[in-house]
Structure 1
Amino acid sequence: MEIKARGLTFDVYEGGPADGEPVLLLHGFPQDHREFDLILPKLHAAGLRTYALDQRGYSRGARPDEVGAYRIAEPVADAIAVLDALGIESAHVIGHDWGAQVGWLLAAQHPGRVRSLTSISVPHPKALRLAMRVRPTQRARFAYFALFRSKVAERVLLAGGLRAMLRPIGDRAALYVDAMRADRGRLTGGLNWYRALQGRDLGGAGVITVPTTYIWPDRDGVVARTAALRTRDWVEADYQFVVLRGVSHWAPEQAPESVATVALDRIRPS
């Protein structure tokens, strides 16, 4: 369905029982709402109502031209506005990659709107900033930012970079590569999240006071162990740290059963 919010039109994909507890799913780059397709059946079977949002830059009707319109505060405000438009006071939030960054900021800045948070791959921003300062290996893992922020990023990624990035998810990579080949504005919109990012933008992610699970795939090429372990320092609520052994950054599609099980354990703890 199309949701109008903040002068934009977002594509939102709903599913599950109409009276189920709401779950907002926030994707990362270079994916879209479909990265959660493989975990949705388990969430729906558990009676949950899901809303998978194609975020700013990915929804065709929510694609501002200005790079500054992709500062991380904007998709955070989008998520709140979409919940408002849906008439949802609070939701469980599941986020991956950039969607996880949005989730951390939502939980920190709007705890009344977040029933629980499940962050996949990306740790608390303050833990990541610490690791960037003290671990050269963590800084090295973010070297790709320079390419993604450059003027040649679209050309390099469409020439094979996207497919190489997504190799661990096999045939599903074509879903995102083909979508961005067919609609180059989607790729530019996604890259603008990187181009707009400034160091201070993630400073608003303070202490988390909602029940939280952080899923760290230990073969993640982006996030090293220090940032993963230090995320605990920033959660003052029930917290679970789950390591997925032998899984890459793309956990929702590489290990969907595990991700769905962990997310359900957070949403409905035993």
Structure 2
Amino acid sequence: MQPLERRTLPVNGIHLCVHIAGPEAGRPVWLLHGFPECWHSWRAQIPALVRAGYRVHVPEMRGYGRSDAPEPIEAYDLQSLCGDILGAMDALGQARAAVVGHDWGALVAWHLALFAPQRVEALATLSVPYAGRPKRPATQILREVFAGRFNYILYFQQPGLAEAELDADIERSLRLFFRDAGEGDPFLQDKPADARLFDGLPTPRALPAWCSEADLAHYIETFASRGFRGALNWYRNFERNWRFSEPLAGQLVKPPTLFLVGDRDPVASLEAYTLKRMPEVVPALEQHRLQGCGHWIQNERPAEVNALLLDFLGRHYPA
């Protein structure tokens, strides 16, 4: 791992912890993590980008780790999350940057490119696609599709419910989240609506090859002091995000965009329609499906992700 400078920036009404590496004169690249991850999920990309000459910025997103975790649920809507990154760019004197996001970080990255296209020179999103503003909030659709059956997004909606399960044993929760593709996905179980997320799942005997015990320790540290509440609050803003995104209806994603997904990632099947429609709203799109790869794409296939990312940036955002 490259030497990292850790800075705490007062931005957008919170304190945002950002890990920074690379030459001060290097062009800025932002790496945005998802759920239930942390800045360390970019451990394989940071040194590759630094060697290429970029100045890399890896925030601990709002609600995670050393960054602030405001109490109100509405403090975790996409406007606030995007505002954190734009505020941090302002604080560091950056007019434009390349933005890379995975999972929820991908949603923030997509919306940064929509809310502030003049600030995002190149965009790379991993695992979560975008095909425009939906006609209804996702939670409304899920309540109809999963009537009487478990759905993890609906389970996450009630404050305190998922926290009680996940916070009871943070290490076990993370081991269950980070199962290898093919071992059974806690997000995709078919069970009654009143079940809990991990019901019926034994704790894996070993971590996947891409996550060592030392790596897991970084994730545990992220949640140890305040649990999963802040991270779960991201899921509790679907309807708020949908209301606020009305001005984005019909808007195209303008920056050149790289999209990567694993063929064993549940998103590849659950979001098949979105993936099909994505080129309609992302005109400058390059997309790749990585074979034999699950959801934790930048860790499962670091060499492939780095090669594709560096090639893309080299053409659209050279160091």
TM over 0.5: yes
Q: Give matches, 1:28-177, under 5 Å.
A: 28-124=34-130, 126=132, 143-150=151-158, 151-158=160-167, 159=169, 160-168=172-180, 169-171=210-212, 172-177=215-220
Note closer, same or farther for the CA distance 1:125–1:73 as it changes in structure 2 (3 Å cut): farther
Structure 2 match to 1:233: 280
Q: Aligned-pair distance for 1:128? A: 7.5
Bigger-Rg structure (1/2): 2
Q: Is the 8 A contact 2:103 2:128 kept in 1?
A: yes
Displacement of 1:126 in angstroms is: 2.4
Alpha carbons 2:131, 2:275 under 8 Å: kept: no
Structure number with higher helix proportion:
1
Partner of 2:232: 191
Query: Could you list the runs of 5+ residues in structure 2 that have no partner in the other structure?
Result: 1-6, 181-209
Q: Does the CA contact (< 8 Å) of 2:65 and 2:222 recur in 1? A: no
Give distance in 1, aligned partners of 2:129 and 2:253.
12
Task: Say what the alpha-carbon RMSD is for the aligned residues.
Answer: 2.6
Q: What is the rounded CA distance, in whole Å, between the counterparts of 2:131 and 2:278 in structure 1?
A: 8
- Give secondary structure in 1 for the equivalent of 2:315: coil
How many Å apart are 1:116 and its aligned residue?
Answer: 0.3
C-alpha separation in 1, matches of 2:93 and 2:85: 12
2:262 matches 1:256? no
TM normalised by structure 1 equals 0.88
Give me the identity figure in percent: 33
Match of 1:16 among 18, 22, 40: 22
Gaps of 5+ in 1: none
Give the drift of 1:258: 1.3
Structure 1 residue 5: Cα displacement: 0.8
Q: Distance in 1 between matches of 2:255 and 2:222?
A: 35
Deviations 1:171-225 (A, max 9, x none): 3344323532x2134x111011012221445553731111101111111123423
SS in 2 for 1:126: coil
Q: CA deviation at 1:70?
A: 0.7
